[in-house]
Amino acid sequence: MGLESFGKVKIITIERFKQQSNGRIKHGFCTRLGGVSQGPFRSLNFDAEVGDSLENVEQNKVILGQAMKINPARIFLANQVHGDQVLVLDEYPDENPSNYYYLDYDAIITQKKGIAIGVLTADCLPIMLYDPVREVIGIVHAGWRGTCLNIVGNVVSKLRNLFGVQLEDLLVGLGPSIGPCCYSVDIKVVRSIKNSTNRWKEFIKPLKANRYSMDLVALNIHQLLEAGIPKENILRINACTACNSKVFFSHRASKGKTGRQLSFIQLVEEGA
Ligand SMILES: [Zn+2]
């Protein structure tokens, strides 16, 4: 796991995304480091719905904007609901994208430049997609529910059908999330995984009575391979949020009271 510093803000980037974009995108999996929020939200929290103040969250957007040279008013988030719906952002949101916050989606795809599409997580898996040929980007929030609905597979089909993306061109980055070392789930989750794939045993290991360890990242990688993405295009950040709760917000490690880190990707405007 390589942390890159932009002032006090520390972000994880993907080398292949940087190489193949040649400056045409900005992207990053934020950590919790470098913001102004306090207490359980310390410090780069992007979610005002978890108990932090809106003022702090807005200030954190400004800090990230300055660090990454992106417009904080153009960080675009949907309202995540652990579903499998994909928002196709085909027009510019108005100058106050938070007006769109009520939209219930767990993935966003766009070809529009100058908008940083993002997802918020604290153990769930953030996934970003980039096709340098068609210049199209996507971002996904995948918890166990969205994963069992194959949200990442949905995103890949939409990118193919709507934008003509070729599978061999599509790069996929999987960010920090809770690892199988810390992700203990109950039989309800296991049943849901069994319903979604007959290879479920590869992603579930029994721990004790009614507790199982789940490998969220491996299941998403399996779905990407099933969708036809070449193995070498699947780029994984190996970091468990719960094992590293000083660096990442972790819902499990903090027993529920914590902030949310932002993962974002943006196509850079021409001349910017
Ligand atoms: Zn762990």
- Tell whether 47 is covered by a domain: yes
Task: Say how many Å lie between the CA of residue 4 and the centre of ligand 1.
Answer: 22
Q: CA 59: distance to chain centroid?
A: 21
* Continuous segment of H or E residues that includes residue 216: helix 216-226
Task: Based on DSSP, count helices (H) and strands (E) in the chain, helices before strands.
Answer: 6, 15
Task: Say how many Å lie between the CA of residue 73 and the centre of ligand 1.
Answer: 34
Q: What is the pLDDT of residue 167?
A: 98
Q: What is the pLDDT of residue 100?
A: 57
Pair of tokens at residue 144: 């166990």
pTM of the model: 0.96
CB 151 within 8 A of CB 140: yes
Q: How far apart are CA 110 and CA 79, in angstroms?
A: 17
Task: Say how many Å lie between the CA of residue 179 and the centre of ligand 1.
Answer: 5
3-state secondary structure at position 144: helix
Query: Averaged over 41-60, what is the pLDDT?
Result: 97
Task: Say how many Å lie between the CA of residue 252 and the centre of ligand 1.
Answer: 10
- Tell whether 51 is covered by a domain: yes
Task: Say how many Å lie between the CA of residue 92 and the centre of ligand 1.
Answer: 39
Q: How far apart are CA 84 and CA 158, in angstroms?
A: 12
DSSP 82: S
Domain that holds residue 12: 3-178+235-267
Task: Say how many Å lie between the CA of residue 181 and the centre of ligand 1.
Answer: 4
- Tell whether 7 is covered by a domain: yes
CATH number at residue 12: 3.60.140.10
Q: How far apart are CA 226 and CA 152, in angstroms?
A: 11
Tell me which of 20-24, 91-95, 198-202, 210-214 is least confident. 91-95
- Tell whether 41 is covered by a domain: yes
How many distinct structural domains can be found in the chain? Answer: 1
Task: Say how many Å lie between the CA of residue 182 and the centre of ligand 1.
Answer: 4
- Tell whether 253 is covered by a domain: yes
Task: Say how many Å lie between the CA of residue 212 and the centre of ligand 1.
Answer: 14
pLDDT tens profile 149-187? 999 999 999 999 999 999 999 999 999 999 999 999 999
Task: Say how many Å lie between the CA of residue 254 and the centre of ligand 1.
Answer: 13
Task: Say how many Å lie between the CA of residue 218 and the centre of ligand 1.
Answer: 14
Query: Averaged over 200-217, what is the pLDDT?
Result: 97
- Tell whether 229 is covered by a domain: no
Task: Say how many Å lie between the CA of residue 241 and the centre of ligand 1.
Answer: 7
- Tell whether 219 is covered by a domain: no
